[in-house]
Amino acid sequence: MTMLVVAGLLIVALVTTAAWAMPALARPSLPFGVRVPPSLTTDQAIIEQHRIYTRRVLGLGALGLLVSVPLILISGIDTMLILVPTVLGMGDAVAYYLAHHEVRAAKNRGKWYAGSRQGTTTDTTLRTDPVRVPWVWLAPAALVLIATAAVGITRYGELPATLPAQRGMGVDTAHRMSTTWPAAFAPALVQAALTLLMPLLAAALTRARPELDAARPAGSARRYRVYLTGVVRLIMASTACANLTAFVIALQLWEILTPSVIVTVVTYLPLGLAMAAWIVFEFRVGQAGHRLPSELGEEAEDSTFVQRDDDRHWHLGGFVYANRTDPALFVHQRVGGASWTMNLGHPTTWAILAIAMVIALLSATGTIPLPAR
């Protein structure tokens, strides 16, 4: 039970930390997903909303910690794993949207873009000489996958008739399930999916539309290239961390490791290290590389333009982008951190969503089986 309580508290802490860091990681000109001129990034309205948002997120996190323990004791870890992160995430999203709404209202009242020269910029070298995917960085994830498969194949013939049920990031020894190869090799199948899909995602991001600054086109293009290189490498490293976590879960599933507090900490440790690496990267490099130091000659660069105010194409606090006149399929999201979103104004986006919906409907009707987890 102690292990389950620790796991629940860790989840609440992770959700709260991610929500707190999100606006701090965004570019100064995109506070809470609102495009503002560089000269007004320290406006009092923006500073005040940062304070209010931080208080709300920390308050929600404290409430989540207080609720998690009794909820685990009364309803079990399954209810907690679903209910608390969902409600906490929704509360944080509401706090973010309220801050977004207030900053946008202050921007409209003050007519912050009045009299400014607006423009956009691009870097054609990202097409002629794109950022290369460092495939060698995938080696650790592949090696962990191979090790997991090897241990699983060796252990499979010695497994009992039932296995402990997988619960979130661990196993529940009080509930057991029949030993079948899909159940026994579920962690390895997750590893295989991650090892295949994450590099494809990294390759797609190298072709996504870059987030550049019209006021400093050359400097922002160089910074973005450095930033994108770091993002692609972190994706590969994070895949290895996720595979390590799945490996520890597999060892518990195959009853090689006995669930305990130490094992739970070891299970979460790779993911925690990955999250820490992302946060450190974002704080040092910044969204789209805006925190990187200027090189010789870049400090004085000024095209006299400011980035075009395109708030009308962004919705739900800067999470959703829809622009029919934009040919880009993937665009850099306005929220803090290394995140991209699909353009809902692009026909391909709707085709992908339609395929996903058809698969979901076929699964719901039992026409095609999908994994339960």
Q: What distance in Å separates the CA atoms of residue 261 and residue 17, rounded to the nearest whole number?
A: 22
State which of 278, 308, 338 marks the end of a domain.
308
Task: Please provide residue 139's backbone torsions phi and psi, each rounded to the nearest 5 degrees.
Answer: -55, -45
- Same domain, yes or no: 107 and 161: no
Coil, strand or helix: which one is 330? strand
Q: What distance in Å separates the CA atoms of residue 212 and residue 140, rounded to the nearest whole number?
A: 32
Q: What distance in Å separates the CA atoms of residue 220 and residue 345, rounded to the nearest whole number?
A: 26
Q: Tell me the pLDDT tens digit for each residue of 346-362.
A: 999 999 889 988 888 87
State which of 286, 308, 330 marks the end of a domain.
308
- Same domain, yes or no: 246 and 294: yes
Residue pair 19/96 in contact (Cβ under 8 Å)? The answer is yes
Q: Are strands 306-307 and 118-119 parallel, antiparallel or unpaired?
A: parallel
Q: Tell me the pLDDT tens digit for each residue of 49-75.
A: 999 999 999 999 999 888 887 777 776
> Cα dihedral sign for 2, 184, 83, 18?
positive
- Same domain, yes or no: 51 and 197: no
- Same domain, yes or no: 314 and 302: no
pLDDT at 336 over 80: no
> Cα dihedral sign for 323, 327, 329, 334?
negative
pLDDT at 87 over 70: yes
Q: Tell me the pLDDT tens digit for each residue of 271-296.
A: 989 988 988 898 899 888 989 998 88
Q: What distance in Å separates the CA atoms of residue 316 and residue 263, rounded to the nearest whole number?
A: 39
Q: Tell me the pLDDT tens digit for each residue of 13-46.
A: 888 988 998 888 888 899 999 999 988 999 999 9
- Same domain, yes or no: 243 and 144: yes
Q: What distance in Å separates the CA atoms of residue 276 and residue 21, rounded to the nearest whole number?
A: 11
- Same domain, yes or no: 159 and 235: yes
Residue pair 325/345 in contact (Cβ under 8 Å)? The answer is yes
> What pTM value is reported for the model?
0.81
**Cβ count near 300 (within 10 Å):** 9
What is the per-residue pLDDT for 13?
A: 87
Helix (H), strand (E) at residue 332: strand 330-332
Task: Please provide residue 332's backbone torsions phi and psi, each rounded to the nearest 5 degrees.
Answer: -70, 125
Give the range of the structural domain holding residue 353, as residue numbers without chain letter. Answer: 310-373
State which of 83, 113, 143 marks the end of a domain.
113
Q: Tell me the pLDDT tens digit for each residue of 134-181.
A: 999 999 999 999 999 999 999 988 888 888 887 777 787 778 888 888
SS3 string, 134-184, reads CHHHHHHHHHHHHHHHHHHHHHHCCCCCEEEEEECCEEEEEEEEECCHHHH
- Same domain, yes or no: 86 and 149: no
Overall number of domains in the chain? 3
pLDDT at 4 over 90: no
Look up residue 303 and give its DSSP letter.
Answer: -
- Same domain, yes or no: 298 and 181: yes
Average pLDDT, the chain: 88
Query: In degrees, to the nearest 5, what angle opens at C-alpha 24 toward C-alphas 205 and 118?
Result: 65
Look up residue 206 and give its DSSP letter.
Answer: T
- Same domain, yes or no: 196 and 100: no
What is the per-residue pLDDT for 373?
A: 46
What is the per-residue pLDDT for 3?
A: 62
pLDDT at 268 over 90: no
- Same domain, yes or no: 316 and 303: no
- DSSP string computed for 46-61: HHHHHHHHHHHHHHHH
**Cβ count near 363 (within 10 Å):** 13
pLDDT band with cut points at 50, 70 and 90 for residue 240: very high
- Same domain, yes or no: 252 and 328: no
Residue pair 352/342 in contact (Cβ under 8 Å)? The answer is yes
- Sequence-distant (6+) residues with CB within 8 A of 142 are 195
Coil, strand or helix: which one is 324? coil
- Same domain, yes or no: 295 and 317: no
Q: What distance in Å separates the CA atoms of residue 159 and residue 168, rounded to the nearest whole number?
A: 21
